[in-house]
Amino acid sequence: MDRTDIVYNLAEILNCDARKYEPLNKHTTFKIGGVADTYVKVTSLSKLSAIIRECRESDIDYMIIGNGSNILASDDGYRGVVIRLDGDFRKISLVDDDTIYCGAGASLAALCKFALNSGLGGLEFAWGIPGTVGGAIFMNAGAYGGEMKDVVYSVNHLTPEGESGRIEKDGLDFGYRTSVYRGNKAIITGVTIKLKKDDPENIRAKMDDFLGISSSAVLKDTRTATLRLAKSTRALL
């Protein structure tokens, strides 16, 4: 028993995956961290709002964990509620020709693949950065000269009071590995991003280049393998 039980019980009633004394080392890339009093996977905005309101009314600390790739959790664990965004928060959809809405719990990799399959370029830099979209916005993740700020149009969030809100690009205060969310304690729930129409082959080639897989090297290898196969089967003389 501890103070977070009230939130744990609420999460159970809301049909969330709620766990007591969950080791944080299971949820951080560096496999470190003691137990969180309560850990909850929240699947919808209304459930998240209910849980945040309960934390506020009962004066219980909470924190959001994404993929845990930028968190060094203490061996002492966390005396509060650790929240992971799941379910609806992993959804990605096309808003119009060049605009995508993505839930904050989706992985950056899933968003990059969605953009590739939609023939939308501009996010290639993010291919290979581990983490969720929420975590990437929180710290304006970037690589190879690109940053989230280059593609973000607006961000949806839930305030510490449990109210929905939205901040347009100009108000997001993006800087080097930082955003307005480092200071305002709101939970990022989703992001609208604007990209540019491009040929999926170009997008794929840029993603491969950024990962260090030179597309020309791959092509060369493929060509050599095809020639070898053709010779061995006497298709080429």
Of 36-44, 135-143, 193-201, 220-228, the segment contacting ligand FAD by CB under 6 A is 135-143
Q: Per 3-state DSSP, what percentage of the chain is helix, strand, and coil (rounded to 5)?
A: 35, 30, 35
Binding flag, residue 64, ligand FAD (CB under 6 A): yes
User: Any idea of the CA torsion for 59, 136, 25, 44, to the nearest 10 degrees?
Assistant: 50
Contacts of 101 (CB under 8 A, 6+ apart): 92, 93, 95, 190, 191, 192
Round to the nearest angstrom and report the end-to-end CA distance of the chain.
Answer: 78
- Report the distance separating Cα 79 and Cα 37, nearest Å: 6
- Measured in degrees and rounded to the nearest 5, phi and psi for residue 93 equal -145, 155
- 42 near ligand FAD, judged by CB under 6 A: no
Touching ligand FAD, residues 196-235 (CB under 6 A): none
Question: Exactly one of 143, 211, 235, 236 binds ligand FAD (CB under 6 A); which one?
Answer: 143
* Count of CB atoms situated within 10 Å of the CB of 163: 12
Alpha-carbon distance of 109 to 157, in angstroms, equals: 21
* Contact with ligand FAD (CB under 6 A) among 40, 82, 120, 129: 129
| Helix and strand element counts for the chain (H, E) | 7, 13
The nearest distance, CB 160 to ligand FAD, in angstroms, is 11
Kindly tell me which residue out of 142, 174, 206, 207 binds ligand FAD, with binding defined by CB under 6 A: 142
Which of 16, 50, 85, 152 touches ligand FAD (CB under 6 A)?
85
Least CB distance from residue 148 to ligand FAD, whole Å?
8
**Nearest approach, Cβ of 71 to ligand FAD (angstroms)?**
4
Write down the least CB distance from residue 162 to ligand FAD, Å.
Answer: 14
Instruction: Candidates 40-48, 50-58, 69-77, 200-208: pick the segment binding ligand FAD (CB under 6 A).
Output: 69-77
3-class DSSP state for residue 144?
Answer: coil
- Minimum CB separation of residue 225 from ligand FAD in Å reads 31
Which one among 7, 141, 203, 205 touches ligand FAD, defined by CB under 6 A?
A: 141
Positions in the binding site for ligand FAD (CB under 6 A): 29, 63-71, 85, 104, 129-132, 134-136, 138-139, 141-143, 181, 187-188
